[in-house]
Structure 1
Amino acid sequence: MLYGHQAGTIVRLRRSLATLFDDNARQNRATRYFNAALAFLIIVSVGAVILESVEPIRARHPRLFIYIEHIATAIFVLEYALRVWTAVDLHKGPVPHPLRDRLRYITSFFGLIDLISILPAALGLLGAGDFRVLRLVRLLRMLKLTRHSTVFAMIWNVLREEAHAIGALVFILFLTVTISGALMYMIEGEEQATLFTSIPVCMWWAIETLTTVGYGDMIPATAAGRILGGAVIIVGIVTLALFSGLITVSFIDQLRLRRDRPNVKTTSTEIEIVQIDAGGATCPHCGGTLRHGEV
């Protein structure tokens, strides 16, 4: 059992740490330094994974990569534990619920990314000896950098706003791939039995043709096959042009909305007012005068 003074100290410590992990709160000097240090550690860790794959470098500095991995893993484990512990102070509801709020963070997108960053150590303890698997998991730490990236936030908003239109375009592409793959199998199946062996293989040709990649591993030989290939190329160019135009316009709209917003970030419970006299106050965002009792 903790005495009241000790419990209060722990709660104050948890709340002060929570300000470092609140992505929606205003950035102060401490949070900026913390985020910069964490980003630097992620870049060093991922860079070590990349350089470790080069045999001469790994043979020359074997212990250096081990030290970097152990230090990075220990810091990521501590960060993850603190984020789980302080998640109760980042709740959105009117009443905090320790277990529910912490489970909400653990199962969230960034919670899963933070968990991935410590998986190499867990896999090592469980006996996963495949070095390539551990290296792949460690490279996924780059996803942690998306937490504070405004670009990724805008891209997510674009995908969310245009989900129906994007879904329609993806359906058109899937339909084109399926139909053109089946037709190409019917046309070239007998002429080039060693290449166009099945509908799934022809669907791979359709994907290459739609995206205008054209690896050259599968080329129709008949006149009907080439006509079909030309039609698929045209459909692919038009569909991809529509897709890129849709994303571009929506992204420009998100940029415009971001520029129109005030440059001050506040939380739902934080409103700063500078008192100028007993009868009113000044709003720090628009500069207007607030009467007594207005918020």
Structure 2
Amino acid sequence: MTLRERLHQQLHIGSWPNGKLTGLNIVVVWTILAAVGVSIAATEPLIREPYNREVLIAELIFGTIFLLEYLARIYAAPEREGPGSDWSKRWRFVISPIGLVDLLVVIVSLAPFFIANAAVLRVIRLLRIVSILKFSRFSAAMREIAGALKERSYDLLVCATLAFVLVLLGAAGLYWIEGAIQPQAFGSIPRALWWAVITLTTVGYGDVYPITPAGRLIGMVVAVGGVLLVALPTGIVAAAFSDAMQRRREAMRKALEEIEGNSNI
């Protein structure tokens, strides 16, 4: 087995039985957890200031590991299934969503060592939290959720459209009824949209609210509609996720039956 084949087998979860993590992937997972933990802790001055040197060393180690992993995945990309030359497969990985996430994580991990601007560094350090997105490669649950959302994308789009229409009508209604009475809150539809969204999601900060009977009636309609519209996508996603888990259990059961059948031959 060549080095490239070994790297692909180690880095690509689908190459191992039951999608289990390999030694290299376990290192990457723990590095992601540590990097996110350090990024969060470093936002606290009581931790960052006395341990600035240790934080920088840890960030350099994390960035180096992420860079080596990214380069290894590019190098092993030709082993992935599909048509095309070695370089075309590498390019497809680079521009793929997970490849772009890997590249972004490498950039934000190493950029502080090449940039001196304090304001830019503050933003870059905050962006390091995006390394948590790399878990989508390792987490079967996240992959199942993504698949479930994709399956029910049309249903969710219908719910989102209904919510948008209700929010827009509510904002337009309050602008028409109370725009002259409360111009600061409802003097335009964009201003009234803040109230409509907060009411629809049943958050209700209470910073702005209708004071006329007609305005309160519209508020009641938006609030009740929000309860119904929030429940709809929750049920859709729950049902899709349940179906995905059931299919996964069936696939694992069939795989185990095949292994047992082959061992009995």
- TM-score, structure 1 normalization: 0.82
Alignment partner of 2:89 out of 101, 121, 146:
101
Give 1:190 shift: 1.0
8 Å CA contact 2:11, 2:24 repeated in 1: no
Cα pair 2:13 2:20 within 8 Å, conserved? no
**Quick one: which of 58, 76, 87 aligns to 2:66?**
76
Letter in 2 for 1:187: I
Aligned equivalent of 2:173: 183
Give the C-alpha shift of residue 248 in structure 1: 1.1
1:223–1:66 distance in 2 versus 1, CA, 3 Å: same
The alpha-carbon deviation at position 205 of structure 1 amounts to 0.9
Query: 2-side partners of 1:170 and 1:283: how far apart?
Result: 43
The structure whose residues are more often helix, as a share, is 2
Partner of 1:233: 223
Alpha-carbon distance in 2 for matches of 1:41, 1:124: 19
Shift of 1:122: 4.0
**Structure 2 runs not aligned, ≥5 long:** none
- Whether the 8 Å contact between 2:163 and 2:229 is mirrored in structure 1 is yes
Question: Which residue of 106, 112, 118 corresponds with 1:118?
Answer: 106
Deviates more, 1:38-47 or 1:212-221: 38-47
- 1:246 Cα shift? 1.1
Q: CA deviation at 1:287?
A: 5.0
Q: Is the 8 A contact 1:262 1:285 kept in 2?
A: no
Unmatched tracts of structure 1, length 5 or more = 1-10, 267-281, 291-295
The 1:29/1:170 distance shift into structure 2, 3 A limit, reads closer
> In structure 2, what residue type is equivalent to 1:233?
A
Identity %: 30
Distance in 2 separating the partners of 1:222 and 1:259: 56
SS of 2:248's partner is helix
Distance 1:288 1:172 in 2: 55
Counterpart position of 2:56? 66
> Hey, what does 2:242 align to over in structure 1?
252
- Aligned-residue Cα RMSD (Å) equals 2.5
Give the direction of change, closer, same or farther, for the CA distance of 1:213–1:80 in structure 2 (3 Å limit): same
How many residue pairs were aligned?
263
- Take 2:102 and 2:19, find their aligned partners in 1: how far apart are those partners? 23
Change in Cα spacing, 1:80 to 1:251, as seen in structure 2 (3 Å) is: same
Alignment counterpart, residue 284 of structure 1, candidates 250, 259, 264: 259
- The counterpart of 1:87, out of the listed 53, 77, 81, is 77
Q: 1:58, CA displacement in angstroms? A: 1.4
